Amino acid sequence: MPSRNPAFSRGFGNNAGPGQQYAGWGNAPQYGGPQYGAPQYGAPQYGAPAPQDQYAAPSPYGTTSATRYMTMDDVVTKTGLSLLVTVLSAAFVWSLPGYTGFNLALPAVLVAFVLGLVISFKQIASPVATLAYGALYGAALGAISEAFNDRFDGIVMQAVIGTFGVFAGMLVVYKTGAVRVTPKFTRWMMAALIGVLVLALANIVAGFFTPGGLGLRDGGPLAIVFSLVVIGVAAFSLLLDFDMADEAIRRGAPAKFAWYIAFGLLVTIVWLYLEILRLLSYFSED
């Protein structure tokens, strides 16, 4: 199932069934691997003699006997480690004297943005790439969080609790099947994401001509509604990410691919945290 997350938006074919190897790895057809049921497997055309024993054909699943396939434990472990690196990086920047961390925020965001695009579009499943992204974005989050907490004491802890509360809630929703990830649901989520992005960009552009832009980030009633909508989109995007992790496991992705999924989840969680932090600031007093 396609995901809103750029890390999960590519590489999975729509026609692969359960147990089929992940399309970007191993013996997938586009990489020259055999396709199940195709003539090269020895399955004869109707009415034609079989050129070879079809049961002696190689298995379409897996590349070598040494391949270890991804499990949910791999996803949980890699995602947890990525979050830990992000938090430690943020804490380090926050602990720097004065506002030294603010000098690191912009460069860290820019490098993390470029690295994130490279990971997404080249589908890099690497601990170095994922943990480096977490460390860079953690540096930016440390500076941002420090600025918010200096102005609104205690707001960062509230945002952290809110973020993981939403994460846990959406995990329960997914596991219980209260909301099912269907093609229709995915299309609605993609439309919502595009709508949020267009409005956010329009607000930035309008800000160059009118103070406060469209009023989507000025702390007023419209800004509160917009933040709630964005939080909702980010929260339901987690369902797509959970489903993509399950799909990768069902299709036999190698264990290394868990780093790619961890990167995607990290992107969504960071986005959710920042939006909750912003919303809480609207209700906080100086």
Mean pLDDT, the chain, rounded, equals: 79
In angstroms, the CA 206 to CA 37 distance is: 57
Mean pLDDT of 241-256: 91
Q: Examine residue 135 and state whether it is found in any structural domain, yes or no.
A: yes
What's the pLDDT at 66?
Answer: 65
- What is the domain count for the chain? 1
Label residue 214 by pLDDT band (50, 70, 90): confident
Q: Examine residue 41 and state whether it is found in any structural domain, yes or no.
A: no
Q: Examine residue 50 and state whether it is found in any structural domain, yes or no.
A: no
Model confidence pLDDT, tens digit, residues 154-208:
999 999 999 999 999 999 999 998 988 999 999 999 999 999 999 999 988 988 8
Q: Examine residue 100 and state whether it is found in any structural domain, yes or no.
A: yes
Q: Is the pLDDT of residue 56 over 70?
A: no
Mean pLDDT of 201-230: 89
Mean pLDDT of 204-219: 85
The answer to which of 62-76, 188-202, 215-229 has the lowest mean pLDDT is: 62-76
Q: Examine residue 269 and state whether it is found in any structural domain, yes or no.
A: yes
| DSSP category for residue 88 | H
Q: Examine residue 45 and state whether it is found in any structural domain, yes or no.
A: no
Q: Examine residue 5 and state whether it is found in any structural domain, yes or no.
A: no
Domain range for 191 is: 68-283
Q: Examine residue 14 and state whether it is found in any structural domain, yes or no.
A: no
CB burial readout 243-281, b (16+ within 10 A) else e: bbbebbbebbbbbbbbbbbbbbbbbbbbbbbbbbbbbbe
What's the pLDDT at 120?
Answer: 86
| Selection from 280, 246, 245 nearest residue 264 by Cα | 245
Model confidence pLDDT, tens digit, residues 77-112:
999 999 999 999 999 999 888 777 788 888 888 999
Q: Is the pLDDT of residue 259 over 60?
A: yes
